[in-house]
Chains A and B, each alone.
Chain A
Amino acid sequence: MLLVDIILPGLVLGGMYALIALGLTLQYGVARIMNLSYGESLVAAAFGAFSLYSGLGLGPLAALLLAVPVAMLLNWLLYRFLLERLMRRGKDRGAQEIDSILVTFGALFVIQGAMLVAFGGQYYSYSYLSIPLTIMGSTLAVNRLVALLFAAVVGGAVYLALTRTRIGTAVRAIAVDPNAARLVGIDVAALSGFAFAFGGGLVAVGGVLVSMFLTFNAAMGVIFTMKALVVVIMGGVGNVLGALVAGLLLGVVETAVARLVDPGLTLAATYALFLGVLLIKPTGLFGRAAS
C-alpha cells in the first residue's frame, strides 16, 4: 500500500508543520516580525523537553506545562526590549520588517551558539511511547499520533480563540491594519507583544512535540524556520486555515519525494516548493492579491 504509506505519515508530518507554522504566522501576521530565529527557539524547546525527560524523568507532556510559559516570557521580553524599539523607529513597514529580520537573524546565532555550548553538535533523541501501531497496513509510532492529536487540539483552540473571542478579533484587526486598529481603541503595542509571546508559546509546543519522535541537534533550527516559512507563505500570512492546508500539503510532498525519488532531496523539495510559491503567488495559495 504505497499510497497509504505516503499519505498517512505525510499527514502526520504535515499536521506538525501546520502547528509549527501557526506561531510564526501569528508573530509575522500580527506583530509584523519575520522571526528568523524561530527554528532555533523550537530546537531549544526540544532540548528543554529532552533535559527534563532524561534528567528528571518528566514526560514531554508535563514538560509542556513548563516550556510554554517560559517561552512566552522570553519572547515577550525580546519583543518588549528589542523589537518594539525597531517598530517605533522604522519609517515605514518595509524598514520595520528589514530591521526586525536582521535582529532576529542575530538572535538565531545567539540561541544556536548557546545550544552548541550546552549540548555540542551531536544528535539527540529519547524514546517515549515509541510503540509501533499498524493502521491500514502502514506502521506508525504511537508518539507521532499523540503529537498529532495534540497539534490538532492546540491548533483548533487557537483558531477558535482568534475567531470567537474579543481579544482574538482585536488581534485579527491588527493583522489587517494596525493603524486602523489603533483608531478604534485597540492597544496595538500591547497586543502585538502578546501575539508575539503567544507565537513563541506555540513554537515551544511544537518543539516539545517534535522532540518525542525526531532526532535533533543544535544546528538544525534553520530547517524548521524554513519549513514554517514555507507553510506561512504558502498558506497566506495570518491565515490559520491556510497554514493547516499548506502544512498538510508540505508533509505529503516531502513524504512522497522521500519515498519515490530520493530521501536526500526532501529538503531541496521543500525549498523548491517554497521558492515556486513565492514566485507564482507571493501572497499565498489563499492570500488576497497584494494591494
Chain B
Amino acid sequence: MTGPLRALLWCAALALAAAVVTYPRYANGYYLALGISVLYFTILATAWAMFSGPTRYISLATVAFFGLGAYTAAVLGETMPWPVVLLAAAGVGVLTAAITGLSTLRLSGIYFVIFSFGLAELIRQLVIWYEVNIHKSVGRYLFSAVTQDILYWQLLGLTAIVFLVGWLLGRSRYGLALRAIGADETAASHSGIDATRIKLGVFILSATFMAMTGAVMAPRWTYIDPAIAFNPTISFQVVIMALLGGAGSLFGPVLGVVPLVLLFEVLTATLPNHFSIVLGIIFVLIVMVLPNGVIGLFGAGRWRVPAGHPATASARKMDATLLAVDGVSKSFSGLRAVEDVSFTVAPGEIIGIIGPNGSGKTTLLNTLSGALRPSSGTIRFSGTVLNGLRAHQIARLGLARTFQLVRVMPDLTVAENVAAARLFSTSNGSDATGRELLDLVGLGTMHEAPAGELTYIDQKRLELARALALQPRLVLLDEWLAGLNPSELETGIALIAKLRERGLTIIMVEHVMDAIRALCGHCIVMNAGSVIARGTPDDVLADPKVVAAYLGGDDA
C-alpha cells in the first residue's frame, strides 16, 4: 500500500470514529435509538460469532444471557452503584455459562443446538416462577439517571472492548485452536489442544458480553418483565445477523447487523403485524442463498496464522524403555477387542504391529493415544502413566499419531494444520519448523492450500507432518502406507527410515509386509485381540500360527 493511500485510509477511519463517538451530539431521539439498536446487536452478534463461528456450535441461547444481565440490572439497579451492577451482571453471565458449558459442551452439534434452545426457555420459566411466587409481581420498574446519550456511549465502549477481545483472541494461539476444534475435534485433541477447556473459555467469554449488554440495555425499558428481557426473537435476530454478515470472521457480523437493524426498523413501522413472517422468510433466504455470509462473497474474513512459535530445545532424556505396555485390555461391553497385551519399545526403535483385520490393532493404538481408555492394564510413556489421561495431555507429552481413516482439519490451510499442532506442545523432541516438516513430507509447495482440497495421499503426508509438529518422541502410524502406489510406497518407506535416523521412535500398524520387513526390527502379531507371536519380521511371518491367522487354520 502506498504512503498517501494509507494516510487517506487512516484519516477516513479517524473521521468515522469521531462521527461514531459524537453521534449522540447531532442525532435526534429517533436516530439515536436506532444507533443504540445497531450497537447492542453488534455486541451480541460479534460475541455470538466469537464462539459459534469457529466451533459451529450454533447457540440459540443468546437471550438467556442477555435477559439474565437485564434482570440483574433491574434487581440491583436502584440500590447499587452502576459499576457494581455491571460487574454483577457479568458475574451472573460467567456463572451460568460455566455451569451450562461444563455440562453441555461435550454434546455433539445437534444436541447442543437443542439444549441451548431449551436453556433459554428454562431460564425464562424459572424467572417467571420466581417473580410470581417469591417477588409477587411479574414486572419490575427500573428508574435510573442513565440518559440515551450515556447508554449509547456505554454500548460504544462495550463494542470497542468486544472487538478488541475478538481481535486479540483471533491473533492468539487460542484463535487457531478454536478453528482447529471446529474443523476436526478429534484431530485437534490429538494435536495437543485441550478442546473442552478452550470451548468452555470462549463460551464463557461470549456469554459475559451478552449479559453485560443486557445490563447496559436494561434502563432503556424502565419497565422489565420476562417477556421483554427473555424475548426469544432476540436470539433469533442475533443468529440471522451473524450469519448474514458471516460468522467466520471478526467484522463479518457487523455487516449483517447494520442492514438488518435498518430493515427491522422499516418493517416494524410499515408492517407491524407481518413482522415475524418477513423475519422468517429473510432468515430462510439467508441460510439458503448465503451460507458463508456477506463477507464470504469477498473471500475475506480468515485470520492468518501467526508464524510458528519457537520451540524450546533441551537435552533429551534417554530412557532404556520409552513405552511400556503391561497387560492392557479393552472391552466393549461383551466384546474383548484387546486382551492382555504387553510389550515395550526402546528409544529409536520401529515396532510393527501386524495381524488380520479386526484383530484389535487400531483399538490398541487408540488406548495408547488416549482416544480410548483401557479397561485394565497400565501404559507407561517415559515413566508417566498414561491411563486415564486425555488425548491432548498424551499428545503434549510427546506421543503423536496418525489415523487409519485420515483426519486433517479440512477448512484450515496446510500450514495452519501444522501450526495447530505446535500451539501447546511442551515436549522436548526435535524442533524442526513447520516449513521444514512440510518439506520433509513433500508438501513444501502447498502451504496455503486448504487441507480439505489435498489428494488422499497428500492428506496422509499432512497428517504425518502434523504429528511431527508436536515434536514427539513416539509416533503411532496407523496404516500410514495403505493405499499408496508402488513408487509412493518406496518414498514413504524412505521417509519413515529418515525419521528413524533423526532419532524418532515409531510404532506402525501396517499390512504392507515389504515395509514391515524393510523398517521394523521387531514385530508383534495380533489375532482376536491377543498377541500370538513376536520377534523379527522374518521369524514371525514364518510362524505357522501367524500364517494360520491370516489364511485360516486347517478347520477353516
Contacts and interface: CB of A to CB of B under 8 A. Distances in A.
B50 to A, nearest CB: 18
Contacts of B278: 113
Contacts of A112: 276, 280
Contacts of A275: 115, 118-119, 122
Given A103-B284, A222-B232, A264 B133 contact: yes
Contacts of A267: 121, 125
Interface in A64-110: 82, 85-86, 89, 94, 97-99, 101-103, 105-110
B503 interface: no
Interface string A250-291: 000000000000101101100110110011001000000010
Given A98-B58, A110-B281, A113-B276, A264 B118 contact: no
A110 B56 CA distance: 25
Nearest to A229: B114
A50 B58 CA distance: 36
Contacts of A222: 121, 232
A244 interface: no
A114 interface: yes
A99 B115 contact: no
Nearest to B122: A271
Contacts of A114: 277
A233 interface: yes
Contacts, number: 124
A167 interface: no
B236 interface: yes
B546 interface: no
A116 interface: yes
A97 B113 CA distance: 10
A113 B236 CA distance: 14
Contacts of A278: 104, 107, 111, 114-115, 118
Nearest to B277: A113
Given A107-B280, A110-B281, A112-B276, A279 B104 contact: yes
Given A97-B109, A110-B281, A264-B128, A103 B287 contact: yes
B441 interface: no
A106 B280 contact: yes
A30 B113 CA distance: 19
B273 interface: yes
Range, interface on chain A = 35 or more
A109 B128 contact: no
Contacts of B110: 34, 94, 97-98, 101
A56 to B, nearest CB: 26
A246 interface: no
Nearest to B243: A102
A36 interface: yes
B14 interface: no
Given A34-B114, A116-B273, A271-B118, A282 B107 contact: yes
B109 A110 contact: no
B287 A226 contact: no
Given A117-B274, A268-B125, A271-B121, A106 B243 contact: no
A117 B58 contact: no
B283 A106 contact: yes
A274 B133 contact: no
A150 B279 CA distance: 37
B276 A116 contact: yes
A107 B278 CA distance: 10
B530 to A, nearest CB: 25
B129 interface: yes
A109 B277 contact: yes
Given A99-B287, A279-B103, A105 B109 contact: no
A150 to B, nearest CB: 28
Contact of A89 (B275, B277, B291): B291
Given A34-B110, A97-B110, A271 B125 contact: yes
Interface string B53-66: 00010101000000
Nearest to A95: B56
Interface in A137-167: none
A282 B113 CA distance: 13
Contacts of A272: 122
B494 interface: no
B75 interface: no
Contacts of A102: 58, 239, 243, 283, 287
Contacts of A233: 111, 114
Contact of A109 (B104, B111, B115, B236): B236
B241 to A, nearest CB: 13
A238 B179 CA distance: 32
Given A98-B58, A98-B110, 14 more contacts: A89-B291, A102-B243, A102-B287, A105-B283, A108-B280, A109-B233, A109-B283, A110-B281, A113-B277, A117-B273, A117-B277, A226-B118, A264-B129, A265-B125
10 contacts: A98-B110, A102-B243, A102-B287, A106-B281, A264-B133, A274-B118, A278-B111, A278-B118, A279-B103, A290-B108
Interface of A: 34, 36, 82, 85-86, 89, 94, 97-99, 101-103, 105-114, 116-117, 222, 226, 229, 233, 262, 264-265, 267-268, 271-272, 274-275, 278-279, 282, 290
Interface of B: 56, 58, 60, 103-104, 107-111, 113-115, 117-119, 121-122, 125-126, 128-129, 132-133, 232-233, 236, 239, 243, 273-284, 287-288, 291
